[in-house]
Chains A and B, each alone.
Chain A
Amino acid sequence: MTDPVPPIPVAPARRSLWDRVSVVWLVPLAALAVAVGVGWRTLEEKGPLIEIEFEDAAGVIARETELRFRNVTVGVVERVRFTSDLARVVVGVRVEPDVAPYVDADARFWVVRPEITPQRITGLETVLSGVFIEGSWDNLPSEPQERFEGLDTAPLLRPGQDGLEITLRSVDGTLTSAAPLIYQGVTVGQVGQPVIGDDGVSVTAPAVVYAPYDRLVTEATVFWDASGFSLSVGAAGAEVDFDSLSSLIVGGLAFDTFVSGASPAQDGDTFEAFLYEEYARDSIFTDPNSPVLELLAVFSGNIAGLAVGAPVELGGLRVGEVTDVDGLIDPDRFGDTDVHLQAVLAIQPARLGLDGEEGRDEILQILQTRVSEEGLRARLATGSLLGGLKVQLTEVPESEPAQIDLAALPYPQLPVAPSQITDIAGTAEGLLERVDNLPVEQLLDSAIGFLDNASVLVASEDTQAIPGEVRALLGDVRGVTNSPEVQALPGQLAQTLGEIDATIAEVRTILGEVQEQDAINRVLAAVDTINATFTQLNTATAGLPDLVQSLNDLATKVNGLQIEPLLTELDGLATDARALVNQPGLQTLPNRVALAVDQTTAALEQARDILTDVNAADVAPRLAATLDSAQAAAASIQTAAAGAPALVERLNALADKANALEIEPLLDELTGVSADARAVLQQPGVQELPQRLVALADQATVALNDASEVLTTLNDADLANRLASAIASGEQAATSIRTAADQLPSIAQRIDALVARANELPLDQLVGQLTELATSANTLVSAESTQALPADLSASLAEVQAILQEAREAGVVTNASAALESARAAADTLPGLVERAGTLLDQASTTLGTFSETSGVVREAQRAIQEVSAAAQAIADLARTIERNPNSLIFGRD
């Protein structure tokens, strides 16, 4: 066999690490490494932690709320804690390391929340994403700071932003938060949050003017409120002015520098903000903080319209304003319980050029002097047309001496003068009231009614027809009056008047003689009696008004009657009358009348001669006796008149009865009568009448010639004696009249009884009878005999003519003397006549008793016809007046 194998050391194989340890161990190692690496990197990436103090956390949530700078997240809030005294909230923020170096002492932090201001709406995204903290710092790294004070709102001026930081101050509330600062319409800055100043009156707010506009602000710059709009009404019209739409709504402060040469403003300067641009301009020269002199003025009376802020004027210049208005009731001080107006006047001495405290004392002294020496007083005056009042310090002449009461509380008191307020509104109101109270409607109604009636009257055809006819009539009359003879009449009349004058002279001498006979006293006595008679008649007429009233009613009734047909007839009547007048014969009548006048003149001459003779005769005593008789007659008449009142009463009652009468049918009948009368007029016989009248006038002329001859004859025939004897006869006649008049009272009584009887009459029956009478009159007029009347009349006229002829031939003189004789005889028979008249009346009264129906008819008819004719006359007058002067409808006859 072989050699034994040398012993080989057998050792177990050395196991490598890989044999013992598996590869898997790499995995945990790797995990560990990863864990460690991640941890390391996180630790290294953490920036510094800064702490910011805020008033409250306000939505800041740990680990969620971010810190942003320029809208880039640069940090996260890690924790939110309190300060040790729980006064503020400390927010710990982990800032990114690359930003951390810039967060230095001038960094500002604030919480951005949703903010809605009139200016803008910001931060809305924070509604969704939650609030975040915004930081602001400059871009210069410097020493880092760890603790910061957070701001409540974003700062006006961000770090890094350039601008001028100033303070604005206002006393009238013109500062609003976040209002823009506007220069020439461009927003160049912003106002911060206003706070109330230390004095409790003013409001200050920080403001910033961004660069490069900060150059525009100098020490003399003034600020004013540019919000809203201003409305001014002036001579140029109404002006609305506002700076911009945003300032209209949001507000804003505008500024400008009106004076040059001032140095630029520095940070921290304070400026005053005014309400209006004018105030701002004013303040350049006056310091609004200058001391103010406050005075008191107490006005009495019921005055409304003084408001705080009303101007105080001295010499027409505004020197201050009213700062307080109060009511004051003090019975002890004023003596009554009325409310007095206490106004505090704040006067700025700076406006008058007196500055400072000394200025204030100076102005007080000046006012004192003027009050005591020149009568300066405070009074209310109208400030504007719209009712505002202002306080005027003016010199009031003739005011009682007074002084400024320096001891009054709380301010010195000025003496006051009565107010001078023109209450324009009140006067205007009063005027309007008076105009309102005018009874315009009634006036208009009356005028309208009157015009309606007048128009109806004027429009009626008959009225319109009348003027035509009347006009034509007038034309014809004018033709007549235009004839040369009529023109010559005045000359002749003048001549006649001359003769009459001479005659009157003669009469006067006679009267002189009468005077010697002491006839005057007798006349006076007669006049006294007549006076007494008139007194009686007065009492009688006392009852006349009622009578007249009744007659008036009657007339009214008559007026209301239908008289148009009557008018028509009368119109026709006028036509015919005109035709009559147109007759050529009538045209020549004036000629003849002229001749007649000549004759009269001559006759008068002769009469004068006669009178001269009469003068010689002893006529006066006869006249005296005649007068005595006349006096006695008057006495009798007086007693007769004593019974007149009762008579009037009766007549009154009679008139009342007449009022109640029915006279329409009567009128109809009268119309018929008129128609027939017209027919009568139209007859040819009537047409001939004028010719006959002319002939008659010729005859009259001739007769007058004869009369003058007669007078001559009389003159020769020693007429004076005859006249004396005639007067004697007259005397006897007067005596007779006297005896007759003695019987008058009894006659008056009889008449009285008659009227009483007449009163008791059944007048209605009367009217009925009258109607029948009218009917019968109508038939009478239309009867052929009446138609034939004119012919008879003309024949009668021919007869008269012939008679005159005869008279002329037959020798009138004898006839005249015989006439005188017979006249005397007639005068002797006068008493007998009167007796007979009395008996006749007795008979009439008895007749009335028996024939009660027929006796009063004629009287009634006469009265009625008279009234009718008066009415017709009135209508014709009216028509004429209207024709001539239509204005008379309104203005009346002038």
Chain B
Amino acid sequence: MGTATCGRCGSRLVSRDPKSLGRAWAWWLAGVLAYIPANLWPMLRTRTLWQEESSTIIGGALELWRYGNMGISVIILVASVGIPLAKFFAIAYLALSARNGARASPGVRMRLYEVVEYIGRWSMIDVFVVAILASLVQLNVVARIDPGPASLAFALSVIFTMLSAQAFDPRMIWDGIEAEARPPRDAPSA
């Protein structure tokens, strides 16, 4: 086999970055932290002639549901709440399973990881919608839509989650296979 140390400095050669998991966790935590104000702060500030309305993500979705637009409400809830939360859970699960092993087969985890990374960028569509609305409805006094602070927080959350997914080394999923697949040493050799 090859050497396990570096020829120059003598440090052990590893095939995985030991800090990658840490990085994934860090980004993951930032994303979670950013996600909290994204839900608490208002996402959109609608200002018409006589009133000013600001709504959070969930609040807006619920209001849509109350006004009968249930489909859109579901879409918003799924897209803005469900998916980011699912991503958080997924990355956390993958990161934990990389260290501690999991019951699911590596194939499944690999698939999960691919899904997370694929749809990661699409979460930005929320922010995109807010940006389009804000830029379209700018009738100064009569009607005005401004993005609230939650949109910034939400964007940050999505970015952090993306970075987190990127930082996770998927080969780690497969690292345990050899250990799992290696038969036990004290098995009788024939």
Contact = CB atoms under 8 A, between A and B. Distances in A.
A443 interface: no
Q: Is the interface of B mostly helix, strand, loop or mixed?
A: helix
B33 A24 contact: no
A30 B52 CA distance: 32
A890 interface: no
B23 to A, nearest CB: 4
B160 A27 contact: yes
B50 A27 contact: no
B51 A24 contact: no
B169 to A, nearest CB: 12
Contact of A25 (B18, B22, B156, B160): B22
Given A12-B12, A13-B11, A35-B37, A24 B27 contact: yes
B30 A21 contact: no
B19 interface: yes
Interface string A13-28: 1000001111011111
B33 A31 contact: yes
Contacts of B27: 24, 27-28
Interface in B1-20: 11-12, 18-19
B30 A20 contact: no
A240 interface: no
Interface string A23-47: 0111110111001001000000000
Contact of B26 (A24, A64, A130): A24
Contacts of B29: 25, 28
Interface in B123-170: 156, 160, 163, 167
Nearest to B159: A27
A638 B150 CA distance: 158
Looking at chain B, what size class is its interface with the partner chain?
20 to 34
B26 A28 contact: yes
B49 interface: yes
B91 interface: no
Contacts of A129: 50
Contacts of A20: 18-19, 22
Given A12-B12, A13-B11, A128-B50, A27 B19 contact: no
B39 to A, nearest CB: 13
A32 B51 contact: no
Nearest to B36: A35
Contacts of A26: 26
B34 interface: yes
Contact of A21 (B22, B37, B50, B163): B22
A130 B18 CA distance: 60
A26 B22 CA distance: 12
Contacts of A24: 22-23, 26-27, 30, 163, 167
B30 A28 contact: yes
A78 to B, nearest CB: 16
6 contacts: A13-B11, A22-B26, A24-B26, A25-B22, A25-B29, A35-B33
Interface of A: 12-13, 19-22, 24-28, 30-32, 35, 38, 64, 128-130
Smallest CB-CB A-B distances: 5 pairs: A24-B26, A28-B29, A28-B30, A31-B33, A22-B23
Given A25-B22, A38-B37, A129-B50, 14 more contacts: A20-B19, A21-B19, A21-B22, A22-B26, A24-B26, A24-B30, A27-B27, A27-B160, A28-B26, A28-B30, A35-B36, A64-B51, A128-B49, A130-B51
